[in-house]
Chains A and B, each alone.
Chain A
Amino acid sequence: MAEVRDLVVEKVSKSFRGLQALSEVSLRVEPGEIVGLIGPNGAGKTTLFNAVSGFMVPDQGRVAFGGQDLIGRKPHEICKLGLTRTFQIVKPFGNLSVLENVAVGGFNHTLRPGVAEEESWRILEFVGLAPKALIPARNLTTPDRKRLEMARALATAPTLLLLDEVMAGLNPTEKEEVIGLVKKVRSAGTSVLIIEHAMRVIMGLCDRIYVLDYGCLIAEGAPKAISSNPKVIEAYLGKEYATAERH
């Protein structure tokens, strides 16, 4: 995890049959940062993740990670470069054990089963799933599935982790746990780009926040500035609330 890499997204656009999902979105993630990506439903957050992680090729724009161009690369190639994502709709390998799920990620940087397994145990401890390591992943509860999603991604030893709504569907206590986990990930040297639907959760966590609305970047800055930005309030709560706030 020692290598220092930054993510640069430059003027990325994508449209689906005339629907502009992303228009000229630019953002950066510096090494060691936790950056938030927020916005209402359908703002294009996951589409941006897909463009960065190789699941979708944007129509225009540039995506580079540590100076390497990512566009046109397959997801598994991008993972090898040290950029790993999770999925909003969790995708556990249901018939494999929790340990094996994590080991799939662990094998990203080693061929030796012993090494991958040791690494997987360490990460399961880290996310608190070790007691359930040997049960099939399909038997996990929703919060545990979210944890597993993160554990697998961490096992690939990423320098940048893309988290897609890892807290959706969790209760406040569980959310706190995940927030703690993300902070631990950062202190271990991995930078994080995190999508979150709920604003409150992300405020205490991120160094910087980008706000997407209808595929356009409408704001960027520190959490404090974002929460008082009228454009952001408008996007989330509607025009009336934004103007009322100003009085």
Chain B
Amino acid sequence: MSAGEVNRRYLGRSLRGGAWLAILALMAALHVLPWLWPSIVHTMIMIFLFAIMGQGWNVLSGYAGQFSFGHSLFFGMGAYTSSLLYVKAGLTPWIGLPAAMALSVGVGLFIGFLSFRYELKGPFFALIMLAFAEIFYVIAMGWEWVGGALGVLIPLEGDSWHLMQFTSKNPFYFLLLWLTAGSVFLVWKLEGTRMGLYFQAAREDQDAAEALGVNSFRYRQIAMAISAGMTAVGGTIYAQYLLYIDPDTTFGVLNSVEIMLRPIIGGPGTVLGPLLGSVVLTPLSEVTRIAFQAYSGAYLMFYGAILVAVIMFLPDGLMGLVRNITARFLGRRS
């Protein structure tokens, strides 16, 4: 082994100057985009929103390997908590947001406590998550005080930073742009720390991880907490963006599918997978939904087709493809 190899760091994450410059340039371009191309702002907002929530899903299901089929639970809790706190108690969503995160984390830890203690994995854990999302769906549907099937309408008070309400889309765009960048940075850093490595070790082989000093229960719970919190942020901002939520679009099963499909297609357990998946799939889903408007649910068939194709041809997701291409490119160069 050469000395040069030792000097390169493989755990604590660092980038070369050129990479930082590229990121800086991309961020700068994204900051002027709303003025250059105003009609894309809505799509970009949806891309960011699902990238953040996909990253949340990715921490628990990609890195820690606990496959969740019910992340709409945390999305819904994020949306409902902040909305109800505002409508019923007059509290600003800026307070509602941390409250929503705390509540989601609490529920997540409760589910984790029940599941991880008995080492529930794979389909069993996925079904537990689905069951809890459905419980909250049924509660939201049946409880008139929280709006029942009609949902919650957040009265628009006009432009107000204080109430996280804006008549223009741009403030949401910038808020979500930075939250997305933050979530990607967080997971990128996490990957090279003890915590990130322990998540993956417990995913790969629990017994071996335990023998090496990994408290798999504790680290799964930490992954659950991070995941629940990140997804709840998406829920709250979604509610503020649309100013209307109902049980179907929050706690519904289809929403769980929407959240997890992007990181699965992008590449679960990778830093950029959720973002890449969202960049590819979100515009497609917006377009197909409009194109197949007349046939409700037709876009889901489209999702199914994409999923089948990805599983057949790109088992490691789009990131696997990207890695293969860069490896080939770098290989040819050297």
A residues near B, CB below 8 A?
Answer: 53-55, 74-76, 79-80, 84-87, 91-97, 99-100, 103-105, 107-108, 111-114, 116-118, 121, 124-125, 130-131, 133-134, 152-153, 155-156
- Choice from A94, A104, A121 contacting B212 with Cβ under 8 Å: A104
B209 contacts partner chain A, Cβ-Cβ < 8 Å? yes
Contacts of A74 in B (CB 8 A): 210, 215
**A-B pair number, CB within 8 angstroms:** 107
Task: Digitize B253-269: 1 where CB-to-A-CB distance is under 8 Å, 0 elsewhere.
Answer: 00000000000000001
Beta-carbon contact of B11 and A100 below 8 Å: yes
Beta-carbon contact of A113 and B192 below 8 Å: yes
In the assembled complex, the CB of B263 is this many whole angstroms from the nearest CB of chain A, namely 16
Beta-carbon contact of A94 and B194 below 8 Å: no
B side interface size, CB within 8 A: 27
Contacts of A133 in B (CB 8 A): 1, 5
Beta-carbon contact of B9 and A114 below 8 Å: yes
- Choice from B5, B11, B210, B215 contacting A103 with Cβ under 8 Å: B11
* 13 A-B pairs with C-beta separation under 8 A: A55-B211, A74-B215, A75-B211, A79-B210, A94-B204, A97-B10, A104-B198, A104-B209, A107-B197, A107-B198, A108-B212, A113-B192, A131-B1
Beta-carbon contact of A116 and B204 below 8 Å: no
Contacts of A54 in B (CB 8 A): 210
- Choice from B12, B205, B213 contacting A79 with Cβ under 8 Å: B213
Q: A95-B269, A100-B200, A113-B194 are in contact. List 15 more A-B contacts (CB 8 A).
A: A54-B210, A76-B215, A91-B207, A93-B208, A93-B209, A96-B201, A97-B10, A103-B197, A105-B213, A107-B198, A113-B12, A113-B193, A121-B1, A121-B6, A133-B5
Contacts of A53 in B (CB 8 A): 211
In the assembled complex, the CB of B124 is this many whole angstroms from the nearest CB of chain A, namely 21
Beta-carbon contact of A84 and B208 below 8 Å: no
In the assembled complex, the CB of B64 is this many whole angstroms from the nearest CB of chain A, namely 13
Contacts of B198 in A (CB 8 A): 104, 107
Interface residues in B175-219 (C-beta closer than 8 Å to A) = 192-194, 197-198, 200-201, 204-205, 207-216
B residues near A, CB below 8 A?
Answer: 1, 5-6, 9-12, 192-194, 197-198, 200-201, 204-205, 207-216, 269
A113 to B193, alpha carbons, bound, how many Å? 6
Beta-carbon contact of B211 and A104 below 8 Å: no
Beta-carbon contact of A130 and B1 below 8 Å: yes
Contacts of A87 in B (CB 8 A): 207-208, 211
In the assembled complex, the CB of A161 is this many whole angstroms from the nearest CB of chain B, namely 11
Beta-carbon contact of A76 and B213 below 8 Å: yes
A124 to B6, alpha carbons, bound, how many Å? 12
Residue of B9, B11, B197, B210 most packed against chain A (CB within 10 A): B11
A116 to B211, alpha carbons, bound, how many Å? 17
Beta-carbon contact of B207 and A117 below 8 Å: no
- Choice from A55, A134, A156 contacting B207 with Cβ under 8 Å: A55
Contacts of A92 in B (CB 8 A): 204-205, 208
A100 to B5, alpha carbons, bound, how many Å? 15
